[in-house]
Amino acid sequence: MLIESSSGCSKGQSGDTLMLAPAFIVTEEEIDMIVDRLDGVLKAVEKKNGF
């Protein structure tokens, strides 16, 4: 996972990006685990910041 602070993206708007790039041999179960963990982290950050 890569989180990058940037001044713009391909659509020409400012914003940060989050890229997930698992190995080509990743299994469906591993993708589910990655997405579940990311979801948990994002929910924790939202809760901590009052969203």
The count of structural domains within the chain is 1
What is the pLDDT confidence band of residue 2, given thresholds at 50, 70 and 90? low
- Average pLDDT in the 32-50 region? 94
C-alpha count within 13 angstroms, C-beta hemisphere, residue 20: 12
Residue 10 confidence (pLDDT): 67
By residue range, what is the domain housing residue 32?
23-51
**Cβ within 8 Å of residue 4, ≥6 positions away:** 16, 17, 18, 19
**Percent of the chain residues past pLDDT 70, beyond the cut:** 71
In a domain? residue 51: yes
Residue 48 located in a structural domain: yes
Look at residue 2 and tell me if it is in a domain.
no
Q: Token digits for 32?
A: 């589910």
Token pair recorded at residue 24: 């080509």
The answer to whether residue 29 is domain-embedded is: yes
Residue 45 covered by a domain: yes
Distance CA 25, CA 30 (A): 10
pLDDT at 5 over 80: no
